[in-house]
Amino acid sequence: MIPPAFDYARPGSIEEAVRALADGGEDAKVLAGGQSLLPLLRMRLAFPELVVDVGRVPGLSGVREDGDTLVIGAMTTHHDVIHDPLVRRHAGLLAAATATVADPAVRHRGTLGGSLAHADPAGDLPAVVLALDAELVAQGPGGRRVIPAREFFVDYLQSALAPDELLTEVRVPKADGWGFHYEKFHRVAQSWAIVGVAALVRRDDGHIAEARVALTNMGATPLRAHAAEEALAGAGDAEAVARAAQEAADGTHPAQDTSASPEYRAHLARVLTGRAVLTAAGMG
């Protein structure tokens, strides 16, 4: 549990941070809350030459409204996200899912932006921002860039951020009027999800008008269950939801690990999608 040697920079502004990253090139890593990076360093699974600690950069945390959008600073801790009144009112799915992340100690240190930039498909929040159709804002030497969540998660532990870009904020469209639920399936409270399902449902006249379903840990990136989403439109009872949920694993490529096989994960995705949607729709 001894990390390899690395250089350390602690910039005081976004501009300084971006410059440090640009200077470090491919071998620089951003340190946010440290809840993913530090274990990787200590287990010698990551060997950055330079660690850029953005913990003292002002203006990177907090939640504000911008019209129909919530703007959440990338360094906002999980704990603050869970308890933020704006998030609870307009993006309840995010608050609810964040409350299932790891344990209280991690939630006080870990940040929303850090968790997303880490792009771990087993993390809970990537699927959640995917379901929310959020946008991620990056700052680089060339200026500011807005990346839709559906383009942000590129591959396993790989985001669309360039090595010299810093994730600064997450823009979440207000989901007022949508029912939501995050169904996390794990073996012990502190372990990662074997499968997680983030569901947002808009109902109209007793039927599901529109459903968004995103899956945690069903592939190299978080995934939208498009086939299930389409099949859910118009569903009016539990039976119809369960039928539509059968399509939740379509197009997924879940991994084999010590917790579960791909086959079982696909089964779980179907069962849990049914449950998440029913709960989100208030039909459960």
Partner 1 sequence: MTETVAREVGRARPRKEDAHLLTGQTSWTDNITASGLLHIALLRSPMAHARLTRVDVSPALERPGVVAAFSGADLADGLSSMPCVWPVTEDIVMPDHPPLAVDEVRHAGDPVAVVVARDRYAAADALEAIEVDYDPLPPVLDLESALADGSPLVHSDKGTNRCYTWPLKTGEDFDAVRARAEVSVRRRYHQQRLIPNAMEPRAVVVTPVAASGEYTLYSSTQIPHILRVLLAMVTGIPEHKLRVIAPDVGGGFGSKLQVYAEEALALAVARRLGRPVKWTESRSEGFLTTHHGRGMIQDIEIAAKSDGTLLGLKVDLLADMGAYLMLITPGIPLLGAFMYPGIYKMDAYDFTCTGVFTNRTPTDAYRGAGRPEATFAIERTMDELAAELGMDPVELRRRNWIRHEEFPYTAIAGLTYDSGNYEAATARALELFDYDKLRAEQADRNARGDTVRLGIGVSTYTEMCGLAPSRILRDLRYAAGGWEAATVRVLPTGKVEVVTGTSPHGQGHVTCWSQIAADVLGVPFEDVEVVHGDTKAAPQGMDTYGSRSLVVGGLAVHHAANKVVDKARKVAAHLLEASEQDLEFTGGVFSVKGSPEARRTLQEIAFETFSSHDLPDGMEPTINAEHVLDPDTFSYPHGTHLCAVEVDTETGQSRIRSYVSVDDVGKVINPMIVEGQVHGGLAQGIAQALFEEAVYDDEGNLLSGTMADYLVPSAADLPEFVTDRTETPATSNALGVKGVGEAGTIASTPAVVNAIVDALRPLGVQDVPMPCTPERVWRALRSAQEARS
Q: Residue 273 corresponds to which tokens in the numbers above?
A: 């999608």
Contact with partner 1 (CB under 8 A) among 21, 75, 194, 225: 194
Radius of gyration of the chain (CA): 19
Interface with partner 1, residue 226, by CB under 8 A: no
Interface with partner 1, residue 269, by CB under 8 A: no
Contact with partner 1 (CB under 8 A) among 90, 164, 185, 216: 185
CB of 201 to partner 1, least distance (A): 20
One symbol per residue from 229 to 268: x for binding partner 1 (CB under 8 A), - otherwise; what is it? Answer: ----------------------------xxxxx--x--xx
Element (H, E) at 127: helix 124-131
Contact with partner 1 (CB under 8 A) among 187, 230, 253, 282: 187
Q: At what angle do helices 238-245 and 262-280 cross, to 10 degrees?
A: 150
- Give the N- to C-terminal CA distance of the chain in Å, as an integer: 45
Give dist(CA 161, CA 244) in Å, integer.
35
Strands 153-155 and 69-73: unpaired
Contact with partner 1 (CB under 8 A) among 2, 66, 177, 204: 2
Residues 20-79 that bind partner 1 (CB under 8 A): 43
CB of 241 to partner 1, least distance (A): 14
Q: What SS3 state is found at 279? A: helix
Q: Residue 258 corresponds to which tokens in the numbers above?
A: 């010590």
Q: Are 75 and 37 spatial neighbours (Cβ–Cβ below 8 Å)?
A: no
> Binders of partner 1: how many residues, by CB under 8 A?
23
Looking at beta carbons only, is 152 or 185 nearer to partner 1?
Answer: 185
Interface with partner 1, residue 105, by CB under 8 A: no
CB atoms within 10 A of CB 44: 11
Task: Give the residues lining the site for partner 1 (CB under 8 A).
Answer: 1-2, 4-5, 43, 185, 187-192, 194, 257-261, 264, 267-268, 271-272
